[in-house]
Chains A and B, each alone.
Chain A
Amino acid sequence: MAVRPPTLRDKRRYLLVRVDPPGTTIDQKELYYAVSDAVSSLWGDAVAGIIVQAVICAEGDYVVIRCRRGTERELAIALSTVTRLRDAKIALRIISASGTIESLRDRMKPRPPPPSPDVVPEYRFFGKDYVAVHCDGQKVDVIEKGFKNTSRLFLTTEDMETE
């Protein structure tokens, strides 16, 4: 099939989205299904067919999601209803929208280095011991020490100092 000339192609827009919490393993296909489910659940199949959403790439904590031009708002609302990726709880934070993927790449911040496995910072909070899994400025994500409870807590450095 011959490629359509640019003037006859659909105009597209790309959304740069950050996946929270940082360090989540992003499977592009799983995320595509999560986004598709959110879009068709909220807007129905007819509008989903107009939005034509697709996950273009996933780099670090960021993903680029494509939609048809003029449907960015509908896609953004649907993205705010994505709460899970397989079994992991996530949130999609929209950073910006653009007509090219290249301009979005400039806005991707590099992921901060994970805590060194030799010197994993340990914290005490409400009488329990925790190990840090992610530190970024004041923000500290911790998991309870041991293997029983692996749920993540979202704290700040100040919480550790005062509690």
Chain B
Amino acid sequence: MKITDAAVCPYPNGDSSVRRLALEAEALGFDSLVAVDTPSATYGDVDVRCGLFIQNTGMKDVISQVKRVNDPGTVVSVRAGDAGFNRGVVGLKGVHILRGLHAADKNAFDHVTAKMAADNRVAVDIDLSCLISARGIARQKAIQRYRDVMVLEQRFEFPLTLSTYARSVLDLRAVREISGLCMLVGMDLPDVEKALAGVGAVTALPEPAVKVV
């Protein structure tokens, strides 16, 4: 099981180089990172995976961008929109993670989408940056939305991932702190462990239905 932060934004999107983020992440207890627009590499003991974040686009653009992905190690994630868009994205082959549900409509992620996510092994991302840096109503709404996601997760068991969206080494958090923050949205320790290994789970090749002996 690889403990993974499912989204960091190294320089030039942030103020820290990818090597420095990897160095700090290792000290904080991570085994791998998904970095936006950064080629896959290994720094020390930390694997950095290339991440493609698709946001603010229509379904056609999402399909064309997913088709353009050449590197099989790329982690493709799409920002959530309305309910119809999310159902379309979750059913699309090549999409690994659905992000930003805290900012989407209240009914954007319903039981039908949850069932589809579980069937297609598409993870739902828990964005910790809004729990860390937001205050008041914004944080309350995020907690409320993620608690709702957790209710569906308990029922349908779709994969989860955890992201800090760190643009700086100062935005990274230790694994212990992350498990504490996840407690706020109703996750217990096994849930957190499963979510930290979520990127590995959704990008692993599916077991073949027929095994040749």
A residues lining the B interface (CB < 8 Å)? 20-21, 41-42, 73, 76-77, 80-81, 83, 89-91, 93-94, 125-126, 138-139, 151-156, 158-159
Contact = CB atoms under 8 A, between A and B. Distances in A.
A143 to B, nearest CB: 11
Contacts, number: 74
Interface string B136-152: 10010000000000000
Interface in B1-44: 11-12, 15-17, 19-20, 23-24
Given A80-B181, A126-B12, A155-B16, A89 B170 contact: yes
B173 interface: yes
A135 to B, nearest CB: 13
Majority SS of interface residues in chain A?
mixed
* Residue among A20, A89, A156 with most chain B CB within 10 A: A156
Contact of B181 (A77, A138, A151): A77
B177 A94 contact: yes
List 10 tightest A-B contacts by C-beta distance, closest first.
A77-B180, A154-B16, A80-B177, A91-B170, A156-B19, A159-B17, A154-B20, A154-B169, A155-B17, A156-B20
Contacts of B168: 89, 154
A156 B17 contact: yes
